[in-house]
Structure 1
């Protein structure tokens, strides 16, 4: 899975230390998958199932809500959980299932769903702070594509807000790979749609008998690329930055191909995607330097978590 290093103006763990968290994420995901896959294969999956409250016997005093749910409330004879333990738990994904997956493929899909939600948590909170999270990102198809379908060494920024000349500027999708940075314009559309591009402010999407206008996506793409390139160069980092227009399900039609823009439509999407999936490379030092430089220029809105304030920190 790709790593979500920045989402809008939310606080992200990667802002604290991208060198640490990129490696920790890969180790954590690998460890969790090995444990859960082994449990499934050996038919010892019960520890990963959500515990349901047991009905009390008629002769017993009815248990309280908290007592019926293990781990929710400490028993009197238990030692209190230390802060370091509770903080460590914050770093782990939720791996409880409501049922035993029917196949290993089902297990993989449900595991990816849980890691996806875990990434949204890392991209909107730290142990000490959190941002107000928009739940629509649970279902964002573009975000899910870059996180669920690409390898771990791809570091992704979604709708990030940067500070440019004392102004807040939201940029488009940015994918930071070991080979370079791809500034992306992702255009949604139906199968067999035709995107007619030009040098005008508005383009046309032909869908069957219908035609609609859409704002020229290259305007935002050029702006994103310019901002990212300036940040990289200002830090003395020699790392490629390119523009990519993606129209997964339809065809992009140009009288004159756009300058210095890689166009990925239905005719070549599978080839591009296969190349991205099959690239075997560790995360590179210059890649992380580029990530650090960009994150240093992002804006963040967050507040102290209520549970942290209660601890008096």
Structure 2
């Protein structure tokens, strides 16, 4: 499951500590899946020893914190606790179990992408049911970072970007163009693309205009830290074919006829997280706008940095 490191202008844990959270997420996901799968395989057994040990360790750390900071919702960093609404009866098939786990993991991702230990953003409900966001997160590997229409702050002015996919080897700036059934897109270099459809023939704004703007912005931000990663512009349609004479430089135009090839290429890509990838994410996040409110439990006392560090290690 890809890592959601930014949505619009919501505050995110990844901007708080970009080098820590990607590896922590992968570890927590693996541990939580192992525990869940073990419960599914051995439903009659008690809680596994390692889970009991984990709970004891958590209790020990929490007991060191001041009473005023003991807020489970704030400090909990385990995917397990994000699944508090999980039904006692687990699914019958392994595939259903995996999907249920991914759905719970999506909620966990949303929490990390919209809050820190001390602050949280007010999230539009649409993102919890956004089918495209869910698709991107649940169908791609852990080593991909996703910035979902991030809002950058450039010279104190907000600039909205397209979807940004950061892999260990490149950055892709993506725009999805998905129209009604049987519609066909005719791509060109003009300001508009032609749509031929049984409903009506019409024109839409050339998606490359927005992609070029986001690409230029990403390049200029990375240049401030001398970070060099290939940047590609990608127009994607899962639902409609796209016809064109030739692809522009550093651009991929992928319609429904060859989307599955692009998708399988991403799914099969294997690589560990790389330092340059995390650096790129860090500097891009540093230029993003973040709007948030301080959590009520932190209103009266701004101290507690030690408490944060201990709790975040759980």
Q: The TM-score by the shorter chain falls in which range?
A: 0.7 to 0.9
Aligned partners of 2:44, 2:78: CA distance in 1, in Å? 21
Within the alignment, does 1:157 sit opposite 2:147 as a pair? yes
Within the alignment, does 1:275 sit opposite 2:265 as a pair? yes
Aligned partners of 1:45, 1:225: CA distance in 2, in Å? 53
- Once the two structures are superposed, the pairs formed by residues 1-313 of structure 1 within 5 Å of their partners are 1-44=1-44, 83=69, 86=72, 89-93=75-79, 94-96=82-84, 97-98=86-87, 99-309=89-299
Aligned partners of 2:239, 2:268: CA distance in 1, in Å? 21
SS at match of 2:232: strand
Larger deviation: 16-25 or 81-90?
Answer: 81-90
Aligned partners of 1:110, 1:311: CA distance in 2, in Å? 39
Unpaired runs of at least 5, structure 2 = 48-62, 304-314
Larger deviation: 251-260 or 142-151?
Answer: 251-260
Aligned partners of 1:140, 1:206: CA distance in 2, in Å? 27
Aligned partners of 1:229, 1:7: CA distance in 2, in Å? 20
Superposed displacement of residue 212, structure 1: 3.6
**Structure 1's 287 and 84: CA in aligned 2 closer, same or farther, altered over 3 A?**
farther
Partner deviation per Cα, 1:66-87 (whole Å, 9 max, x = no partner): xxxxxxxxxxxx9999646837
Superposed displacement of residue 200, structure 1: 2.8
Structure ranking higher on relative contact order (CA contacts 8 Å, 6+ apart): 2
Superposed displacement of residue 90, structure 1: 2.5
Superposed displacement of residue 311, structure 1: 6.8
Aligned partners of 2:263, 2:194: CA distance in 1, in Å? 25
SS at match of 1:243: strand
Aligned partners of 1:112, 1:311: CA distance in 2, in Å? 36
Contact 1:251 1:267 survives alignment (8 Å): yes
Larger deviation: 173-182 or 240-249?
Answer: 240-249
Other-structure match for 2:51: none
Partner deviation per Cα, 1:23-46 (whole Å, 9 max, x = no partner): 000000000000001101112499
Aligned partners of 1:201, 1:145: CA distance in 2, in Å? 29
Aligned partners of 2:265, 2:242: CA distance in 1, in Å? 20
Q: Indicate the structure (1 or 2) with the bigger Cα radius of gyration.
A: 1
Contact 2:74 2:117 survives alignment (8 Å): no
Normalising by structure 2, report the TM-score.
0.83
Give the alignment's Cα RMSD to 1 decimal: 2.4
**Structure 1's 32 and 45: CA in aligned 2 closer, same or farther, altered over 3 A?**
farther
Partner deviation per Cα, 1:163-212 (whole Å, 9 max, x = no partner): 12331100000000011100111112244421122233332333334334
Unpaired runs of at least 5, structure 1 = 48-77
Aligned partners of 1:259, 1:140: CA distance in 2, in Å? 31
Contact 1:45 1:100 survives alignment (8 Å): no
Residue-pair matches, total: 283
SS at match of 1:19: coil
